[in-house]
Structure 1
Amino acid sequence: MSKELFDISSYDSRDPNPWLALYLDNSIPINEKTKQALMRDNNSRSARYLYPLIFFWSKVTMFFIHVFKFFFPKIFNSSKVLHLILSWGLKRFVSKDANLLIFRHFHVGSEILQFIAANVEGAEIETSPLKPRNFEDIKDDLFLKHDLNLYNFIIRLNSTLKEKNITIKPPAKLRVDMITEDQFDHIEFPDKWTNTLDLKSSIELFTPFYQFFLTSNDFIRASNSLQLDETISIYTSQIMGTPAHLGLINNKHPMIPISTYSAAYRLVLHGLAAETLHQILVNVKQGRHVDGIVTPLEK
């Protein structure tokens, strides 16, 4: 199936595969292995047949959990139990491609924050990189820490900027040493007959568990964090002096929160935004320019 998807010789002009078209299109910067995994994921039977059913179940379940949490906000709150379920479920039921996209996201997001921290002159910002290598790493509150890291980074960065009266601007020497070209060849994701769920189905399926086992504050904060894509991209554009990549951001306006019922879909957009921004930084590291502007790099 995957070989046929990317094989131009199987192209039929009367029935063109949309994922082949998007795979061949290079208008959006993205890691090659990530792109292949995403197109295969979109083309999977799970995405076509299971996703609509799981989507409906997820929204109905979230509604009843919302009502339950209103009356019993402190019952069953356990991040540890949540991450045990996530680790178990990802390993046994999520496809190889979807797991690749999920694991990559933590690495990519961590490196983007490290890039910003390293290139704000006059400010020393502490980061807490999350780079899981196996399903055991998920059990250490990985998803919750990912959200906390993002908010804590923004708070620390901006409090430092105000305290020292400095602004984000292109540095004299751009540091990209923290940006890697990791293809995840070192991680063997399970590919058994049970590993069938695509990325969107997996997220929709796990979102009610996320809502149920986290406190309302944790869940709402996690949902609202998706709109910080715009904030992180603005920081990056200020550092590089090139705002063109802001057009790739769909999760915007963090001061106007969106309903948590759309969190699963926006999470997929969040993952794509992180991947495209990271690939832009990889391109800078490899080509030493962005959007035609020569960028001074640290040698």
Structure 2
Amino acid sequence: MSDNRLDPASYDPRDPDPWLALMLDRSLPFAPDAKAALIRDQASRSRQFLLPIVRPLARIAIVLAQLVHTITPRWPHAPRLLHRSIAFGMRHFLTPDANRLILRHFHLGAQILRFISDNATPGFHPALEPMTPRTIADVKDNLFLKHDLNIFNFLIQLNQEMERRGTTIDRVDHVDFSAITGDIAIDPLPHGRLNVIDLQTAIELYTPAYAMLLTDRDFWRASNSLQLDETVGLYAARLTGEEKHLAMINNRHPLVPHSTLRAGFRLMLHGLSTEVLHGFLMEMKIRQAPVTGAA
């Protein structure tokens, strides 16, 4: 943002800024830099003026894409074109804050899944695709599709291993937080004259492309992976004995899938849920450090 609305020095009791209030609020366990990036992005003119136009058009486009896939469920199928298009848009049109939040999300998700397997099945880790992108170019390698595949492969392999061991996910005496870290390595991001599109508008624009350029099965799986926020949150709650973060999960009930029409907005909620769960685990790690000597 070019203005100073998020500067506490600009506070005017006669005209308090809602975004400043949210910036200063500490009710959520949220990494300060990521929270500032999200609020700057949400308070942008792009989200204020462009999103209301884009959203209804995007949902119409999703309906059209699904009609096409009703006739040809496996065509078009162009994941490489999809990811190259997303990477092009990220490089040339998205704000640095939006790009940082996108790349950061993959790191956080990978850390959370590793945390669960470290504690639920010590010595066993599901075979997943690496999710540590440093640059926008890393997106081209079908990163979004692999992210969706990872979560389902994780659940299947983790539960198969627990069934083999005859164990369940329960509270552990000494929680291993080694997978949870605030050290997210991302290279400098483009900040050109056209890098003005906010994250939420970008997601609404990308979702119809996702619906059209992936198979019907791939898009359905990607959309409904969002509701696994509840499953992952419950796993973390059972391992740690803490349930506060569950109140912040909005994508619930994976056994009763939502319509794909709201996938764009639900993806924003998924990002928020991931940030909050990661922040919650970071807080627990810090509290445990004096007792266990963990870093």
Counterpart of 1:219 in structure 2: which amino acid?
Answer: F
Q: Which residue of 2 aligns with 1:261?
A: 261
* 8 Å Cα contact 1:96-1:191 kept in structure 2: yes
* Alignment match, 1:113: 113
Amino acid at match of 1:8: P
* Distance in 2 of aligned mates of 1:159 and 1:72: 34
Q: CA deviation at 1:242?
A: 1.1
2:124 aligned partner, one-letter code: E
SS of residue matched to 2:4: helix
How far apart in 2 are the matches of 1:63 and 1:237? 37
Deviation at 1:54, TM superposition (A): 0.9
Shift of 1:285: 2.0
In the TM superposition, 1:194-273 aligns within 5 A as 194-273=194-273
Of 137-146 and 158-167, the range deviating more from structure 2: 158-167
Structure 1's consecutive aligned runs of 4 or more residues displaced over 4 angstroms after TM superposition are 294-299
> What's the counterpart of residue 42 of structure 1?
42
The alpha carbon displacement at 1:295 in A equals 7.8
- Counterpart contact for 2:38–2:101, Cα < 8 Å: yes
Q: Does residue 139 in structure 1 map to residue 173 in structure 2? A: no
Secondary structure at the counterpart of residue 120 of structure 2: coil
Are 1:176 and 1:297, in contact at CA under 8 Å, matched by a contact in 2?
no
Residue 123 of structure 1 deviates from its aligned partner by 6.3
Which deviates further from its counterpart, 163-172 or 205-214?
Answer: 163-172
8 A Cα contact 2:73 2:217, kept in partner? no
* SS of residue in 2 equivalent to 1:5: coil
Aligned to 2:72: 72
What is the match of residue 97 of structure 1? 97
Distance 1:166 1:297, change over 3 A: farther
Judged with a 3 Å threshold, the aligned counterparts in structure 2 of structure 1 residues 199 and 122 are, in CA distance, closer, same or farther, namely closer
Alpha-carbon distance between aligned partners in 2 of 1:106 and 1:297, rounded to the nearest angstrom: 28
User: Structure 2 vs 1, CA of residues 75 and 183 (structure 1 numbering), >3 Å: closer, same or farther?
Assistant: closer
CA contact (8 A) 2:148 2:222 kept: yes
Q: CA–CA distance in 2 between the matches of 1:296 and 1:274?
A: 25
User: Is 2:169 the partner of 1:168?
Assistant: yes
CA distance in 2: counterparts of 1:33 and 1:198, whole angstroms = 17
**For the Cα contact (< 8 Å) 1:6–1:23, is it kept in 2?**
yes
Determine the C-alpha separation between the residues in 2 that align with 1:180 and 1:122: 19
Tell whether the 8 Å contact from 1:113 to 1:127 is kept in structure 2 after alignment.
Answer: no
What is the number of equivalent residue pairs in this alignment? Answer: 294
Comparing 78-87 with 102-111, greater Cα deviation is found at: 78-87
- Determine the structure 2 residue equivalent to 1:12: 12
| TM-score, normalisation: structure 1 | 0.93
TM-superposed deviation, 1:4: 1.3
* Aligned residue in 1 for 2:24: 24
Change (3 A) 1:166 1:202: same
Q: Return the offset for 1:287.
A: 2.2
Displacement of 1:75 in angstroms is: 2.7
1:126 aligns with 2:126: yes
Determine if contact 1:251/1:266 at 8 Å carries over to the other structure.
yes
Q: CA RMSD in A?
A: 1.8
Q: What secondary structure sits across from 1:119 in the alignment?
A: helix
- Aligned counterparts of 2:249 and 2:143: Cα–Cα separation in 1: 24
Residues 5 and 40, structure 1, Cα contact 8 Å, conserved in 2: no
Structure-2 change in CA distance of 1:273 and 1:235 (3 Å): same
Q: Spell out, residue by residue over 1:143-186, the C-alpha distance to the aligned partner (whole angstroms, 9 max, x if none).
A: 000000000000111112222210112223221112111255x5
Cα distance change of structure 1 residues 34 and 93 upon mapping to structure 2, 3 Å threshold: same
**1:192-224 CA distance string (max 9 Å, x none):** 111111111000001111001100000000000
Amino acid at match of 1:153: F
Deviates more, 1:239-248 or 1:199-208: 239-248
Q: Distance in 1 between matches of 2:291 and 2:207?
A: 41
In the alignment, which residue of structure 1 is the partner of 2:153? 152
Amino acid in the other structure paired with 1:243? E
